[in-house]
Amino acid sequence: MKKNRLTKPVVVAAGCILLCFAAGLSRAQSASPSAVHTPMAAPSGTHPKKSSALEDDFAGLNYTDEQKAEIEKIHLNTKSLQDKVVKDDKLTGDQKDAMLLGYTRMEYGQMFKVLTPEQQKQVRKKMRDRRVADQAAKQKQKPMAGQTSTPASTPAK
């Protein structure tokens, strides 16, 4: 009799777990391909190319010797972290790409902190100008992409 009282709750709990698992699988399988996020990333196992736009934001600045040394230290530290990620076999390609991008962003943030307030203003202005140019380029492409030839409507007979 005690055996029957314990069996029923265990079976009910197992059934609930199974149903939740099956519902999760069916939702994952029924997701439309457009709903699945596929990031555009560099092939796994390689360092992502540093954004030339970001590098351009820091280009043309006159660094002091101390700034050069600190930036080199930041770069070497970031490179060692990125090398560890590339060699990690436990991570998937997407995970590696995300971590490499994150380390690159952290590197630029640390480099920005090394700059003087005047240099930071120059970098902010370059970034703002680049964003404005990018938005203008997108606006130019948008109308062109939206233009499609529509067939002339034919009168109904």
Digit-coded pLDDT (tens) for 45-99: 444 444 556 667 888 889 999 999 999 999 999 999 999 999 999 999 999 999 9
Query: With contact defined as beta carbons under 8 Å apart, do 73 and 128 qualify?
Result: no
The structure's pTM equals 0.54
Judge residue 96's burial from the number of C-beta atoms within 10 Å of its C-beta, 0-12 exposed, 13-18 middle, 19 or more buried: buried
